[in-house]
Amino acid sequence: MVRLIAEPLTIDSFKEYGTIISPDEEISRLDSLEKSANHGTAIKLLQVSRVENGSSSKVPNWNLFRCFPQPHLNRAFTPGSTQGVLHKIKVLEKHPCSSQTFVPMGRSSAEVAYLVVVAKELANKPDLSTLRAFTCLGGQAVTYGLGVWHAPMIVLGEQEHLDFAVLIYESLNPEKPEWDCVEEHYGDSSIHITV
């Protein structure tokens, strides 16, 4: 059995698994506002999240997911602290031919909105010794690196649902769908995350 405590998501803590888009964190790291854009009414931050494509037959595509919190996760979570709520991970998946970016929509940028669980690979399976869990704010987007194992989206909070705009490379030919998802299933007693 693997037991983890979820930690707050940061650019540095997630870098082994992919990249994140975290505007407040990126801006706080600037020495000055040298990246002025839109005639001084904006700040432009370059190359904040890497998008990868491992197949020449796939094209970038945006999808939309409406995700719902499970009953035990349908409660307020405080940023930066653990509430002691146990969540069991039943499946990890990876996309061998594409990175996958999840951009949350409709939550406050300071609100804990979702949970991300990731692992590196070992012999075509998730390496559970590298498993990590992160609580993510409504203003943070996550890009899973090419082939990184992750749990399906886990919504946190008191709201009815959370929408995600999702960027992934995929085949747009309905006659030749190329399924780019590999799953590894676990029993109820295998992976426990405390949020």
Q: For residue 36, what pLDDT is reported?
A: 77
Task: Indicate if the pLDDT at residue 174 is higher than 90.
Answer: no
Over residues 43-54, the pLDDT tens digits come to 888 888 889 998
Q: Is 171 helix (H, G, I), strand (E, B) or coil?
A: coil
Which residue in 143, 145, 171, 157 sits closest to 115, CA to CA?
A: 157
CA angle 106/166/15 to nearest 5° reads 95
Q: How confident is the model at residue 23 (pLDDT cuts 50, 70, 90)?
A: confident
Residue 195 to residues 5, 46, 76, 100, 102, Cα–Cα distance (Å): 6, 32, 11, 23, 20
Q: Within the chain, where are the H helices? A: 11-14, 23-28
Q: How confident is the model at residue 188 (pLDDT cuts 50, 70, 90)?
A: confident
Token code pair at residue 146: 């090419």
Q: How confident is the model at residue 172 (pLDDT cuts 50, 70, 90)?
A: confident
**Do residues 152 and 172 make contact, with C-beta atoms less than 8 angstroms apart?**
no
Q: For residue 54, what pLDDT is reported?
A: 87
Name 83's Cβ contacts closer than 8 Å, sequence gap at least 6: 75, 77, 195
Tell the burial category of 131 from Cβ atoms under 10 Å away from its Cβ (0-12, 13-18, 19+): buried
Task: Indicate if the pLDDT at residue 119 is higher than 90.
Answer: yes
Edge-first strand order for the sheet with 100-105 is 18-21, 141-144, 100-105, 162-170, 59-67
Look up tokens 């869990």; give the residue. 133
In this prediction, what percent of the chain has a pLDDT beyond 70? 94
Which amino acid is residue 78, in one-letter code?
T
CATH no., domain 2-194: 2.60.120.480
**Do residues 2 and 192 make contact, with C-beta atoms less than 8 angstroms apart?**
yes
Token code pair at residue 148: 């990184």
Over residues 55-109, the pLDDT tens digits come to 888 889 999 999 999 999 999 999 988 889 999 999 999 999 899 999 999 999 9
pTM of the model: 0.90
Residue 171 to residues 40, 44, 56, 106, 195, Cα–Cα distance (Å): 40, 31, 10, 28, 36
Of 10-24, 65-79, 178-192, the range with the lowest mean pLDDT is 178-192
Domain ranges of the chain: 2-194
Q: For residue 81, what pLDDT is reported?
A: 85
Q: How confident is the model at residue 118 (pLDDT cuts 50, 70, 90)?
A: very high
